[in-house]
Amino acid sequence: MTSSYVGRFAPTPSGYLHFGSLVAAVASYLDARAVGGRWLVRMEDLDPPREVPGAQRAILETLERYGFEWDGAVERQSERFPAYASVIEQLLRSGLAYACTCSRKQLEDFAGIYPGFCRDAGHTRDDAAIRLRVPELEYRFVDRVQGEVCQHLGREVGDFVIQRRDGLYAYQLAVVLDDAWQGITDIVRGADLLDSTPRQLYLQELLGLSQPRYLHVPLIVQPDGHKLGKSYRSPPLPAEQAAVPLTRALRALGQRPPAELAEGSAGEALAWGVAHWDATRIPRCATLPEESL
């Protein structure tokens, strides 16, 4: 990897940053800066009804307080809706996508694998979701931490939604288009997104986009097994003594910071992380219990 590296951190403003968010931010930041690469911040504000007022500002203020410095302007997915709409029209015209009127009730017995009820129904777009047809093929990639990942799209996923019934755009479509638009070469994010990556690989292939490298870090989970997240009311990051959670995040990522690093500044903690970053030390697992860190 060289300075052509472009990474990103893409939080959802449905709440404030918590320790799990910090681990992902630290991993993506250090992986970029350790090779002299660029690090971008993008707001994944695709779902206005779920957005917490003031969360975008609070997220950026927290990143600044914790010593993160990003390159360029902060991009927002809410400003990219015309680009998403254009691609969906293209996919519909080519027959690669179709309108789906299935309700959640109709699909609840299929374990999240779409059975294809609307595939050849010829529905209009009125009051319908848009699904992408998937091939009966296995997609595989090598994650830099988790190793080889394989998924048969037809058997394990089925045709998936790229625009919701309420008109909002789906994450799978938006993330692929925005990563390509921003020239992202390396995606570093939480392991909860590992199994959605083959869908993104398929979209990249379909649209003629380059494939970035992937690194999925373990999720930090609570004692009940739920990941730290906004929906489980995880506490926001403290405003003071940022070096303490930063040092803890370094340990979660398998790095070996000296204990005294927690007594310094946020900038010192990140500088140490950049100088000593070793992605091969990241634990090869999907989750890490918070109480073990």
Give yes or no for residue 199 having a pLDDT over 80.
yes
Strand order in the sheet with 129-132: 97-100, 129-132, 160-163
Answer whether residue 275 shows pLDDT above 90: yes
Q: What is the mean pLDDT of residues 132-156?
A: 96
> Would you say 150 is a known binding-site residue?
no
Across the range 121-149, mean pLDDT stands at: 95
Q: Which domain holds residue 262?
A: 6-78+219-292
Structure tokens of 191? 């392991």
Q: What is the CA radius of gyration of the chain?
A: 20
290 in a known ligand binding site = no
> E-strand spans in the chain?
6-9, 38-43, 75-76, 97-100, 129-132, 138-143, 147-152, 160-163, 186-190, 213-217, 219-221, 287-289
pLDDT value of residue 164: 96
For residue 125, is it within any domain? no
> Angle at Cα 94 formed by Cα 154 and Cα 75, nearest 5°?
85
Q: What is the CATH number of the domain that holds 51?
A: 3.40.50.620
Token pair 């690469």: residue: 37
Q: d(Cα 219, Cα 111) in Å, to the nearest integer?
A: 23
Residue 133, domain member (yes or no)? no
Has 171 been labeled as part of a binding site? yes
Q: Assess contact for 216 and 190: CB atoms under 8 A.
A: yes
The answer to whether residue 277 sits within a structural domain is yes
**Would residue 202 count as lying in a domain?**
no
Residue 227, pLDDT score:
72
How far is residue 269's CA from residue 266's CA, in Å, rounded to a whole number? 5
114 is in an annotated binding site: yes
pLDDT at 36 over 70: yes
Answer whether residue 1 shows pLDDT above 50: no
Whether 38 has a binding-site annotation, put simply, is no
Indicate whether 51 belongs to any domain.
yes
Residue 8 is assigned to a ligand binding site: yes
- Axis crossing angle, helix 266-276 with helix 19-33, rounded to the nearest 10: 50
230 annotated ligand binder: yes
Quote the pLDDT of residue 254. Answer: 98
What digits encode the pLDDT tens for the residues 73-113?
999 999 999 999 999 999 999 999 999 999 989 998 898 89
Quick one: which of 177, 219, 180 has its CA closest to 24?
219
Is 10 annotated for ligand binding?
yes
The reply to whether 102 sits in an annotated binding site is: yes
Is residue 149 domain-resident?
no
121 in a domain, yes or no? no
Decide: 69 and 37 in contact? Cβ < 8 Å: no
pTM: 0.94
| pLDDT score, position 226 | 72
The one-letter amino acid code at 174 reads: A
Total tally of structural domains belonging to the chain: 1
| DSSP per-residue codes, 33-86 | HTTT-EEEEEE----GGGPPTTHHHHHHHHHHHTT----SPPEEGGG-HHHHHH
Is residue 276 in some structural domain? yes
Contact 133, 119 (CB under 8 A): yes
Beta carbons of 70 and 37 less than 8 angstroms apart: no
Contact 239, 39 (CB under 8 A): no
